[in-house]
């Protein structure tokens, strides 16, 4: 339990179960029944839970791979721009000389 100042100087006592986290609000928004059952202490049981966990792991790996590819893409773009600038300068100096 924790306390905080209440109205007119009275102390208000909150139990941990009275306070909602941001993730609980998201769970409630997604499925209020599942949120309620979880708050009552029921464990989620489904053969699809393991499949869902694996899907999330796969998705996470894919996103991590995309991050690396984006980094390479930026470097290659900068390298291409540098080569283009050098080629333009060589062409410009070649025409002037």
* Tens of pLDDT, residues 86-96: 999 999 888 76
What is the average pLDDT across 63-86? Answer: 93
How far is Cα 28 from Cα 21, in angstroms, rounded to an integer? 11
Average pLDDT, the chain: 79
How far is Cα 58 from Cα 94, in angstroms, rounded to an integer? 53
How far is Cα 7 from Cα 16, in angstroms, rounded to an integer? 20
* Tens of pLDDT, residues 8-26: 555 645 466 677 888 888 8
Nearest one of 56, 21, 60 to 38, comparing CA atoms: 21
What is the average pLDDT across 69-83? Answer: 95
């Amino acid at each position: 339990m924790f306390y905080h100042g209440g109205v007119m100087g009275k102390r208000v006592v909150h139990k941990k179960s009275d306070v909602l986290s941001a993730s609980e609000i998201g769970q409630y928004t997604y499925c209020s029944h599942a949120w309620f059952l979880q708050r009552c202490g029921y464990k989620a049981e489904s053969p699809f839970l393991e499949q869902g966990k694996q899907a999330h792991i796969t998705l996470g790996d894919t996103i991590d791979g995309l991050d690396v590819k984006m980094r390479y893409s930026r470097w290659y773009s900068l390298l291409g721009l540098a080569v283009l600038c050098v080629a333009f300068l060589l062409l410009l100096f070649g025409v002037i000389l």
